[in-house]
Structure 1
Amino acid sequence: MKVCRDCLLKDPDRALPIVRKAHAEARKDLGLPPEPPSNGVKCDRCVNGCRIPEGGVGFCGVVRNEGGRLVVEHRGSFYLDPHPTNCVGAWVCPGATSAGYPRFTDTEGPERGRYNLAVFYGGCTHHCFFCQNHEHWTTRGEIKPEDLLSRMTDPDVTCVCFFGGDPVPHLDQVLEVGERFEEAGVRVCLETNGSMNPSLCRRVAEICYESGGGFNTDVKAYNPEVYEALTGSSPEYTFKHLEIVGEEFAREDPPILRPSTLIVPGYVTPEEVEAVAEFLASIDERIPYRLLQHVPHYLSVDLGYTPTSVMLECKRAAERHLENVDACVYVHV
C-alpha cells in the first residue's frame, strides 16, 4: 500500500489517494473497474452504489449492464463439506458444537457424518489486498439454483453456507435458494463482509434467523480510513448490517451474529480490535467475536504471519468489552 496506519489516520487526504491508486492498478490486472463506475444504471445491492454503463461491469465484477438491464453472472462452484467444518463461525455453530440443540440440530455435539453445502461465489464488493480466496475473481463455473436445490432433500445436508468472494452480489439467488432450504429445515448461513443494502440485509437475516443459521461477518477494521485502505471500499453498510442483525434478529442459541476480524500486521492493531469490540458490545456483550491470524495471501505476502503475542494482545483488548472472544492462531510466530 506504500502507506502505514499512522499516515492513514493522521493525514488521510494524502494517504488515501496513494492507496486508491494501488487498488486501481491491481484491479486493472484482473480486468476490473478501478473504482465503482458512476455513469449508468444504478445497482443498489451494496455499499458501492455502482452506476454501470452499457456493456460494463460493476466493482464486484459479476453485475453487468446488458441492454440497460442489470444481469448477475452467478459464477462459482459448490461442494459438500463434512462436519465439523473449518467455517469461521464453527466454534458457535450447531454443525460443530451443541449450540441450537435440539431445535436446530438433532445431534448434541458435532454433526459427524453429515455435511454443509458450501456455495463458493465469484466476485466481491471489496478488493482486499490480503484475500485468501482471490482466485474467485477468475472462477468461471456457473451456479444454477436447480443444482443447489437438488441437494435440499439429502438428509445428510444439515446446512448451506454462501461465501466466496462474497455472496452480496448474488443475493437474488441466495434469497431464492435460501428460502427453499429454510422451508426444508436446513440451516442457512452467509460468510460475508456485510456490505449489503440494509433492505436486502433484513430479508436475508429473516431466513438465517428462522433456519437456525447466521452471519459469519468479516469486520475488516473500525476506522474508515484503515478499512478503505485494506478493502478499497467503505464500512458504512457493514456496521449497519451488524446493528440490524444484532438488534432486530437477536438470537442467543445459536448466535445469529458470528463476527470475525483478520489481524493484518501493522494495520489491524489492538486499538482497532478494541474499537470493533466496543461497537459490538453496544449491541450485545454476548456476541461471539473471533480474531484470525493473518496468513500471507494475494498482495499481502510481505506482511507475514501475525505474531502470536499480537493475537493475544488483541484478544485481551476485545475481552474488555465482550464476554466471548476467541483467537485463532494457525502458526506460532
Structure 2
Amino acid sequence: MIHEARYWEPAAAGKVRCTLCPRDCRIGEGQAGFCFVRRNEGGKLVTSAWGRSTGFAVDPIEKKPLAHFHPGARVLSFGTAGCNLGCRFCQNWDISKARLDELHSEVDWTPERVVALAREAGCPGIAFTYNDPIIWAEYAIDVADAARAAGLFTVLVTNGYVSPDARRDLFARADATNVDLKAFTEEFYRRQTFSHLAPVLETLEWLARETDVWTEVTTLLIPGLNDGDAELRDLAGWIRDHMGREVPLHFSAFHPAYKLTDRPRTPPATLTRARAIARAEGLRHVYTGNVHDPEGDTTFCPGCGARVIERDGFAVRAVRMKGGACAACGTRIAGRFGDEGVRLDDGIPLPLGVPV
C-alpha cells in the first residue's frame, strides 16, 4: 500500500528532498531514505508505511511510559518499521532497523480499522509506538484524526527528531507524548544515534511552551556513556528551566542490544542515583523504569509528600486523589487524569478521590 508522502520537495538530478526530519535526506530514483519507509518513485516521495503494521498489542499506558496521563488505562499500541535515528543501543532494533517487507507486515490497516480494533478491545486510546511514528507521520495523522472523531485519545512515543512543519501537524493530533531524550551531550547524539541534540531540545521546549500536549520525557541510562552526575544535573536542570518542574522524567535501565553489547546492564543503583539528582535539581516527578522499584514507580504529592498513586511496575495499586489533587492536602497534581478516574490493575474503574 503506497501513498504519496507529505513533507518533501523536488531536488536536483531527479532526486527528492524529504523535509520530514532534520536528517534532510536527498533521495534518488528508486532509493529509500535513512528511515527505509520513504522513497523516491518517479520523482515523487512516497511512503510504504501507510496502512501497514508490524503488530498490535493492548498495553498499560504506564508502559509508554506515561505516569500522569490516564493512569491505569489500557491503550491499543502499534507501529510499523524503520526509524530516522541510528541508535547503536536500540532496545527495539528488530523493528526499528528492519524493512517492512522483511517483517511480513499486514497491509490493509486503514485508520477506521485501527479505531475499530481499539474500541473492540475496550481501549480509550491509541499509542503510536514500537518504532518512531515520525517516519510514518502521514499514517499517524490519519489514524489520529479518525481516533479523535471516535472520541479516543492518541499518544506519540517518539525521539522528537522532526522538522517544525511536520511537528506542528503531527502533535496537533496528539493528546500526550513521551519523548526520548537520549542523553544531554551532542557527542553522544552524534556518535551513538547519528543525529543531533539541538532539534530534540527544540521539540521538547516547543511542546512544553506552545502546545497543550501532555509531555513526559524518558532517558535510557547507559553505563559510562550518559549516566555521569554532571550530565544528569544538566539534563534535569534544562527540563526544569525550559519545560517546567512538573514535567515527569523517567530514567530507564539499558540492556545490551543491537550494536552496543559491550556495556553491562544498568545497575538499579544508577537509576536511584539519577532520580535523586533530578529531584535535587527541582523536578517534582521522577520515575525509574525497566527495574523493579515501587518507590521509583510511585507518584508523590509535591506538597505534602503523600503517595498519591502507588504502582508496582505497570500496575496501579492505590490511588489517593480527589479530582486532580492530593486527597491529603489538596495540592494539584500535574497531569491529565480523565473523568473516568484511575484504573487499578484489575481493570475496574476507580473514581478519583476513593483511597484504596
Does TM, normalized by the shorter one, top 0.5? yes
Q: Which moved more, 1:76-85 or 1:277-286?
A: 76-85
Letter of the 1:218 partner, please give it. Answer: D
Name the residue aligned to 1:284.
244
1:38 Cα deviation after fit: 10
Q: Which moved more, 1:229-238 or 1:260-269?
A: 229-238
1:87 aligns with 2:64: yes
Asked which structure has the greater CA Rg, the reply is: 2
> 1:1-333 counterparts in 2 under 5 A?
40-74=15-49, 75-83=52-60, 86-89=63-66, 91-94=67-70, 97=71, 110-111=72-73, 115-136=74-95, 137-138=97-98, 139-143=103-107, 144-146=109-111, 147-151=113-117, 153-154=119-120, 156-208=122-174, 213-250=175-212, 256-269=214-227, 270-282=229-241, 283-319=243-279, 320-330=281-291
Normalized against structure 1, the TM-score is what?
A: 0.75
Contact 2:245 2:283 in 1 (8 A): yes
Contact 2:218 2:249 in 1 (8 A): yes
Normalized against structure 2, the TM-score is what?
A: 0.71
Point out where structure 1 has 5 or more consecutive residues left out of the alignment. 1-36, 98-109
Number of residue pairs matched by the alignment: 270
User: Which protein is richer in helix relative to its size?
Assistant: 1
1:156 Cα deviation after fit: 0.8
Letter of the 1:145 partner, please give it. Answer: T
Q: Distance in 2 between matches of 1:273 and 1:50?
A: 32
1:81 Cα deviation after fit: 0.9
Letter of the 1:289 partner, please give it. Answer: L
Letter of the 1:120 partner, please give it. Answer: G
Contact 1:220 1:230 in 2 (8 A): no
Letter of the 2:58 partner, please give it. Answer: D
1:93 Cα deviation after fit: 2.5
1:293 Cα deviation after fit: 0.7
Identity over aligned pairs, percent:
25
Contact 1:38 1:51 in 2 (8 A): no
1:304 Cα deviation after fit: 1.4
Q: Distance in 1 between matches of 2:141 and 2:65?
A: 22
Letter of the 2:283 partner, please give it. Answer: L
CA gap of 1:241–1:298, structure 2 versus 1, over 3 A, is same
Point out where structure 2 has 5 or more consecutive residues left out of the alignment. 1-10, 294-356
User: Which protein is richer in strand relative to its size?
Assistant: 2
Contact 2:76 2:125 in 1 (8 A): yes
In structure 2, the residue corresponding to 1:245 is in which secondary structure?
A: helix
Name the residue aligned to 1:28.
none
Letter of the 1:166 partner, please give it. Answer: D
Name the residue aligned to 2:297.
none
In structure 1, the residue corresponding to 2:155 is in which secondary structure?
A: strand
Q: Which moved more, 1:76-85 or 1:309-318?
A: 76-85
Q: Distance in 2 between matches of 1:188 and 1:84?
A: 11
Measured on the aligned residues, the alpha-carbon RMSD in Å equals: 2.2
Q: Distance in 1 between matches of 2:76 and 2:252?
A: 23
Name the residue aligned to 1:24.
none
Letter of the 1:280 partner, please give it. Answer: I
Letter of the 2:105 partner, please give it. Answer: G
Contact 2:249 2:286 in 1 (8 A): yes
